[in-house]
Amino acid sequence: MNGILLRLAAPLMSFGEHAAFHYRDTLPFPSRSALIGMFAAAEGCAREEALAPDPATGKVPYTELEFTVRVDRPGTRHTDFHTVGGGRGHQKGLHTSSGEYRPAEKSTLVSERVYLADAVFTLAVQGPDRLLEHLVHRLEQPAFAPYLGRRACVPHEPLVLRGPHPDPVSELLHHVPLTLSAPPRPGHSTVPVTFIWENPPTHVPATRSEREVADVPTDFTPTRRSHRTRRICYSTEPLPATLYAPPPALTELTAYIHQETPPCDQPSCRHPRCHGDADPDPSQPPQPRCAP
Q: Which residues touch 234 (CB under 8 Å, ≥6 apart)?
A: 194, 195, 196, 197, 208, 209, 210, 211
Q: Is the dihedral of CA 127, 133, 136, 141 positive or negative?
A: negative
**pLDDT exceeds cutoff 50 at 276:** no
Burial of 216 (0-12, 13-18, 19+ CB in 10 A): middle
**Do β-strands 160-165 and 66-73 pair in parallel, antiparallel, or remain unpaired?**
unpaired
Per-residue pLDDT band for 54 (boundaries 50, 70, 90) equals confident
Other beta carbons less than 10 A from residue 258's beta carbon: 7
pLDDT above 90 coverage of the chain, percent:
58
C-alpha to C-alpha distance for 246 and 224, rounded to whole angstroms: 45
**Tens digits of per-residue pLDDT, 75-125?**
999 999 887 776 666 666 677 777 777 776 777 778 889 999 999 999 999
Give the lowest-confidence range in 2-6, 67-71, 222-226.
222-226
Give me the DSSP letters along the chain.
--EEEEEEEEEEE---SS-BTTEE---SS--HHHHHHHHHHHHT--GGGTTPPPTTTSS-GGGG-EEEEEEEE--EEEEEEEEESTTPPTTSS-B-TTSPBPPGGG-PEEEEEEEEEEEEEEEEEE--HHHHHHHHHHHHS-SS---SSSTT-PPPSPSEEEEEES-HHHHHHHTSPB--SSPPPTT-SEEEEEEEESS--SS-TTS-EEEEEEEEEEE--GGG-EEEEEEEEEEEEEEEGGGB-PSSHHHHHHHHHHTPPPP---TT---GGGGT-SS--TTSPPPPPPP-
pLDDT averaged over the chain? 84
**Tens digits of per-residue pLDDT, 226-252?**
999 999 999 999 999 999 999 889 999
- Prediction pTM value: 0.82
**pLDDT exceeds cutoff 90 at 140:** yes
168: Cα within 13 Å, side-chain hemisphere: 26
**pLDDT exceeds cutoff 80 at 32:** yes
CA R_g for the chain = 22
Can you give the pLDDT at residue 26? 94
Can you give the pLDDT at residue 87? 66
